[in-house]
Each structure stands twice: as structure tokens, then as C-alpha cells.
Amino acid sequence: MTRPALVLRPEPGNAATARRLEAAGLTVARLPLFGIVAIEWTPPDDPYDALLLTSANAARLAGPGLAVLRHLPVIAVGAGTAAAAEDAGLRIAAVGQGDGAQALSLAHRNGWHRILRLAARDRISLPGVEDIPVYASEPRIPAPGTMRLAKSAVTLLHSPRAATLFRRLLERDHTSLASVRIAAISDAVAQAAGKGWDRSLIAAEPNDAALVQAACTLAIDH
């Protein structure tokens, strides 16, 4: 027996993850728990060595102010973020294969130390990086009872905020954690989700493809 998968990340990432899961043969339920919205920001006057992007949403939603920063080399956290940055007219100088800390290390190895990041309003800080919020991830609380979708399914968790909210909503809907399996994109996300699940698995790498692979492993009932 194969369990269905539940995808909670915001759009447009939700649809992209769903396509990966469907290509792997899983039935997918899509329930974005957050919506991404642009927020007003002012480009900085200070000089920087490089621009760090740890989310494709920053490039998509930064708006006209992004033009002021197009002279900066861009370090993107991964291929998806790099593609969004290129679409926005930015110059990609380096592409990471992990999380924000790994991308920052990549920037330092390239000799860039005064680094600006366009980021979410709610984010994990990186040492020595100046952050400017350009978008926000707003919770979308589903109607009571909705989270029963997760019962006997595998839920993919892309962020600590999603993991925390997911657990709270399951408790609201009186859905036993012991009936739910979770695939977490990183150790931090797994820690935010806590314990008590039927089974949990952390992706081999902190990216969507690896997370989908972990979900596929959990979807097979033993």
C-alpha cells in the first residue's frame, strides 16, 4: 500500500513539488499553509560586495528596487533560486547546493564578505549578513477539520514555520501525530516538528528533489 502525500508549502513552489510527487507515482493533496506577499522596502545606500538570495521569492517579489542592485554578483542558494534571479535580470556568480549557511560559505570562499541579502520578513539570520525583508509569508489557517487530510499520509515540511504550524493544526483538529508521517527538508525543520510521529525522515540534501525522494520512501507502508 502507498500513502498519499500532503504538500504545505506556498505557491508557486507547492505546484512544483506536487508535480515531482505525481511523477514519482504518488497521489498528492495540496494545502498551502502560507501565502507569499511582497512588502515595501528601500534599496540601501551602503556599498556591498555581493547579493545573497536564499529564496526564489526574493527575486520574484523584490520589484523595481531590484534594479539598483543589478551590478552586484549574486550568490544563489540553489538552482531554482538562481533561475528566478536570472529571470529578474540579475547576474549569477555562484550557486550553492545546500542551505543559507552553505551559500554564505561559498560567498566567503569567493572573497565576498560585505554581503546583502534580500529575504523574508521571518527568517533565520546568517552571521555577518545584512538583511532587507522584501516579502512575507502570511499564514493561511484552514477550516477546522481540514488537517485530517494528513491522517495516514506523508506530509512534506519545507520550513520550521510550516512544521510548527502543521503540528499546532493537527492538535487543533484532534488528529493523532502517530497516524502521520513527515518528511523534513532539514534537521532544523525536523526539530521544529518535534516528536511523536508514526515515522519521520530528513532529506539527504536540503532541496525539494531530495525531500520528494524522502517522502516517496515514507509513502511505502511496511
Strand ordering across the sheet containing 28-30? 28-30, 5-7, 154-157, 181-184, 199-202
Q: How many domains does the chain have?
A: 2
Beta strands 154-157 and 91-95 are unpaired
What does the pLDDT average to over 54-66?
94
Do 114 and 191 lie in one domain? The reply is no
**pLDDT, mean over the chain:** 94
Do 124 and 182 lie in one domain? The reply is no
- Pick from 103, 138, 173: which residue ends a domain? 138
Q: How far apart are CA 161 and CA 9, in angstroms?
A: 10
Matching residue, cell 518535534: 194
What does the pLDDT average to over 6-15?
95
Q: What percent of the chain has pLDDT over 70?
A: 100
What does the pLDDT average to over 161-177?
96
Q: Which residues span the domain enclosing 120?
A: 36-138
pTM score of the predicted model: 0.85
pLDDT in tens, 38-53: 999 999 988 899 999 9
Do 169 and 131 lie in one domain? The reply is no
Do 166 and 124 lie in one domain? The reply is no
Do 84 and 16 lie in one domain? The reply is no
CATH number at residue 77: 3.40.50.10090
- Pick from 88, 122, 138: which residue ends a domain? 138
What does the pLDDT average to over 99-125?
92
Do 93 and 23 lie in one domain? The reply is no
- Pick from 99, 119, 138: which residue ends a domain? 138
pLDDT surpassing 90 at residue 184: yes
Do 61 and 119 lie in one domain? The reply is yes
Do 40 and 134 lie in one domain? The reply is yes
pLDDT surpassing 80 at residue 222: no
Do 134 and 144 lie in one domain? The reply is no
Q: What percent of the chain has pLDDT over 90?
A: 88
Please compute Rg for the chain using Cα positions.
18
Do 150 and 123 lie in one domain? The reply is no
pLDDT in tens, 74-96: 999 988 899 999 999 999 999 99
Do 43 and 126 lie in one domain? The reply is yes
**CB–CB of 153/52 below 8 Å?**
no
Do 134 and 147 lie in one domain? The reply is no
Task: Kindly tell me the burial class for residue 98, based on how many C-beta atoms sit within 10 Å of its own C-beta (0-12, 13-18, 19 or more).
Answer: middle
Matching residue, cell 539598483: 68
Q: How far apart are CA 213 and CA 216, in angstroms?
A: 5
